[in-house]
């Protein structure tokens, strides 16, 4: 059995906070991928609207309750975004793949440490999701990879050391200070915070639909990971990302395939 990885944080670091988790539809099943089924024969490049698009499309139906709530949310103002701007710098690939951390790539839980005489510290048992490293290695050849988490940056950087120890795969990190906390209690990862990137060239994979509430056409919902080491959700994500990587317009292609915004039209 694989020994879990541990992340040790100093007392000045803060506990990771991903309050979105409680809002997610829980899914431990290996067979309930929320990604569209791989359809090798389907032309990815078509820029015309799919005749099957609509409120009855799979993902929109699966997230009907969340999308109904999202429809009533007010997007962050430009001033909110301006306060959170992040520059990523030079990029090697045309498209940027934004990846959530907790419950998408890893599952971590705090564990008790030491006795009373020890300096207090936080330690986390971190389970790396099956195929997470394969995803990073394969997709780094096709996309610019950026992690966007609602957790504190210090925690996220410690986790990235486990996922990408040579710092060669993931080229950017956005953390809680780049997120917007809505009055509804939802943390939102608005893609407009990436000051030197075009939103039309970014896609975001996250286990929480609220994370990309205002970038639904860019969003790829991923089934939540809660530590099940038989989980194979990321194999579906790898296949899907492979398919759409050469799209002329990746957001349009993603909308055609997943079409979450259809659920907001009701
Ligand atoms: Mg998450």
Q: What are the domain boundaries of the chain?
A: 40-105+129-264
Instruction: Tell me which of 110 and 113 has the higher pLDDT.
Output: 110
Cβ burial, residue 213 (10 Å; 0-12/13-18/19+):
buried
Predicted pLDDT at 120: 60
Contacts for 41 with CB less than 8 Å, ≥ 6 apart: none
Terminal CA-CA length for the chain: 48
Cα–ligand 1 centroid distance for 22 (angstroms): 10
Predicted pLDDT at 266: 46
Cα–ligand 1 centroid distance for 193 (angstroms): 18
Predicted pLDDT at 22: 34
Cα–ligand 1 centroid distance for 116 (angstroms): 33
- Position 74 pLDDT exceeds 90: yes
Predicted pLDDT at 5: 63
Predicted pLDDT at 221: 97
Cα–ligand 1 centroid distance for 46 (angstroms): 31
Would you place residue 7 in the very low, low, confident or very high pLDDT band (cuts 50, 70, 90)? Answer: low
Cα–ligand 1 centroid distance for 167 (angstroms): 21
Which stretch of 7-21, 44-58, 91-105, 190-204 has the lowest confidence by average pLDDT?
44-58
Cα–ligand 1 centroid distance for 87 (angstroms): 23
Cα–ligand 1 centroid distance for 226 (angstroms): 10
pTM of the predicted protein model: 0.81
Would you place residue 63 in the very low, low, confident or very high pLDDT band (cuts 50, 70, 90)? Answer: very high
Cα–ligand 1 centroid distance for 262 (angstroms): 23
The helix/strand/coil state of 183 is: coil
Would you place residue 19 in the very low, low, confident or very high pLDDT band (cuts 50, 70, 90)? Answer: very low
Cα–ligand 1 centroid distance for 120 (angstroms): 27
* Residues, Cβ < 5 Å to ion ligand 1: 100, 102-103, 207
Would you place residue 110 in the very low, low, confident or very high pLDDT band (cuts 50, 70, 90)? Answer: confident
Of 33, 22, 101, 103, nearest in space to 66 by CA = 22
Predicted pLDDT at 6: 61
Cα–ligand 1 centroid distance for 189 (angstroms): 11
Predicted pLDDT at 58: 75
- The torsion angles phi and psi of 220, rounded to 5 degrees, stand at -125, 105
Kind of pairing between the strands at 219-221 and 106-111: unpaired
**CATH topology classification for 40-105+129-264:** Rossmann fold (3.40.50)
Mean pLDDT, all residues of the chain: 82
| Residue range 202-223, pLDDT digits in tens | 999 999 999 999 999 999 999 9
- Position 71 pLDDT exceeds 70: yes
Contacts for 3 with CB less than 8 Å, ≥ 6 apart: none
């Amino acid at each position: 059995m694989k020994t879990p990885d541990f992340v040790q944080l100093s007392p000045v670091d803060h506990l990771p906070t991903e309050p979105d988790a409680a809002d997610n539809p829980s899914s431990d099943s290996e067979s309930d991928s929320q990604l569209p089924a791989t359809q090798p024969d389907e032309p990815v490049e078509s820029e015309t609207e799919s005749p099957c698009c609509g409120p009855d499309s799979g993902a929109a139906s699966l997230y009907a309750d969340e999308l109904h709530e999202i429809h009533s949310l007010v997007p962050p103002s430009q001033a909110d975004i301006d306060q959170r701007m992040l520059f990523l710098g030079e990029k090697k690939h045309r498209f940027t793949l934004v990846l959530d951390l907790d419950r998408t790539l890893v599952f971590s839980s705090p564990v008790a440490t030491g006795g009373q005489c020890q300096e207090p510290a936080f330690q986390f048992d971190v389970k790396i999701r099956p195929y997470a490293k394969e995803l990073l290695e394969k997709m780094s050849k096709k996309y610019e990879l950026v992690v966007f988490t609602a957790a504190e940056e210090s925690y996220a950087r410690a986790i990235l050391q486990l996922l990408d120890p040579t710092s060669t795969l993931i080229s950017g990190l956005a953390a809680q200070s780049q997120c917007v906390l809505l009055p509804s209690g939802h943390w939102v990862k608005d893609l407009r915070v990436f000051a030197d990137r075009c939103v039309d060239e970014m896609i975001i994979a996250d286990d929480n639909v609220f994370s990309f509430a205002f970038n639904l056409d860019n969003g790829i919902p991923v089934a939540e990971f809660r530590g099940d080491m038989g989980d194979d959700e990321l194999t579906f994500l790898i296949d899907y990302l492979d398919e759409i990587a050469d799209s002329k317009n990746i957001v349009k292609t993603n909308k055609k395939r997943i079409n979450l915004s259809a659920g907001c039209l009701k």
